[in-house]
Amino acid sequence: MVNRSVLNNGIAQFYDISSGIWEEVWGEHMHHGYWEKGEDNKDRRTAQIDLIEKLLEWADVKQPTAILDAGCGIGGSSLYLAQRYGATVEGITLSPVQCARAQARAQSAGLSSTVGFQVCDALDMPFADEQFDLVWSLESGEHMSDKAEFLRQCFRVLKPGGKLIFVTWCCRDGQLDERDKRWLEAIYRIYYLPYILSIPSYEALLAEQGFEKVSSVDWSKQVSRFWSLVIDSALDPTVLWRVLLQGPTVIKGALAMQLMRRSYARGLIKFGVLQAQKPGVL
């Protein structure tokens, strides 16, 4: 059984330490990029924006006015969505360093009156029932110690007819062999993940929490190039020196990037993209 407090502290410390170097090398979006076949030369930061746009297109998002960014990082998606839709956005993270940086970025963008950030646990959200018409969770669900409770919280804070876009690291569906299990355990340990589920398992879990119109897609092929590019960037002498200076937590994360690349290649790790709607009409 995962100790939630210990896990949350580990997650917070991991991102407190690593977010600065990530922003310096990759920018404000702390997530995968999206590459179609033949787009190998696409700039990596463009690919990260493309992932956001592809998600909005795939989920047929119209004009949300109140958005929750659950696992907001340093505010990349929050600010992008606020500017795109003119919406109010609340971002939450476990990392005080990320929260402070996101607040500073909102201030610089002139959006501090409509975009807010706070440190809190997504399993105990400090928001009213039916507050948001879009809940956006981009690569944070893998950190949740109780996936069902996280999805219950998302359901609770959504308005009737509101939409959840849930993108998370998943594992291959079906039986896992001993090597698969060893690789996953290593990934869990290094990236502070309690466990991950298959895409079909998440579909079932969403339905169990009361969501309707649940659908999913596997974008593993479209995003897997990301890890090769991250590895390349980490091998830059200046970046490598920064990684070494950050200490063992960041060093272990850097070494695990090769494991992630190979896990995508083997089909063990899947990039799960899911959407669901709370019953009712906005």
- Render pLDDT for 160-194 as a digit per residue (tens, 0 to 9): 999 999 999 999 999 999 999 999 999 999 899 99
Q: What is the pLDDT of residue 159?
A: 98
Domains of the chain: 4-277 (3.40.50.150)
Question: Sign of the C-alpha dihedral, residues 244, 42, 191, 220?
Answer: negative
- Across 18-22, 84-88, 257-261, the highest mean pLDDT is recorded for 84-88
Q: What is the pLDDT of residue 86?
A: 97
Amino acid at 91: G
Token duo for residue 166:
């849930």
Residue 109 has pLDDT above 80, yes or no: yes
Q: What is the pLDDT of residue 259?
A: 87
Note the pLDDT tens digit of each residue in 75-85.
999 999 999 99
**Lowest-pLDDT choice from 47-61, 100-114, 216-230:** 216-230
Spatial separation of the C-alpha atoms in residues 168 and 30, rounded to whole Å: 13
Token duo for residue 96:
């005080």
Closest listed residue to residue 53, CA positions, set 33, 72, 70: 33
Spatial separation of the C-alpha atoms in residues 223 and 47, rounded to whole Å: 9
**44 falls in which pLDDT band (50, 70, 90)?**
confident
Mean pLDDT of the 45-64 span = 96
Residue 251 has pLDDT above 70, yes or no: no
Q: Say which residues have a Cβ less than 8 Å from residue 174's Cβ, sequence separation at least 6.
A: 198
Round the average pLDDT of the chain to a whole number and report it.
92
Q: Say which residues have a Cβ less than 8 Å from residue 151's Cβ, sequence separation at least 6.
A: 164, 166, 205, 206, 209, 211
**265 falls in which pLDDT band (50, 70, 90)?**
very high
Q: What is the pLDDT of residue 242?
A: 63
Token duo for residue 37:
């076949």
Global confidence as pTM: 0.93
Spatial separation of the C-alpha atoms in residues 209 and 198, rounded to whole Å: 17
Q: What is the pLDDT of residue 39?
A: 92
Mean pLDDT of the 92-112 span = 97
Question: Sign of the C-alpha dihedral, residues 281, 66, 222, 276?
Answer: negative
Q: What is the pLDDT of residue 228?
A: 86
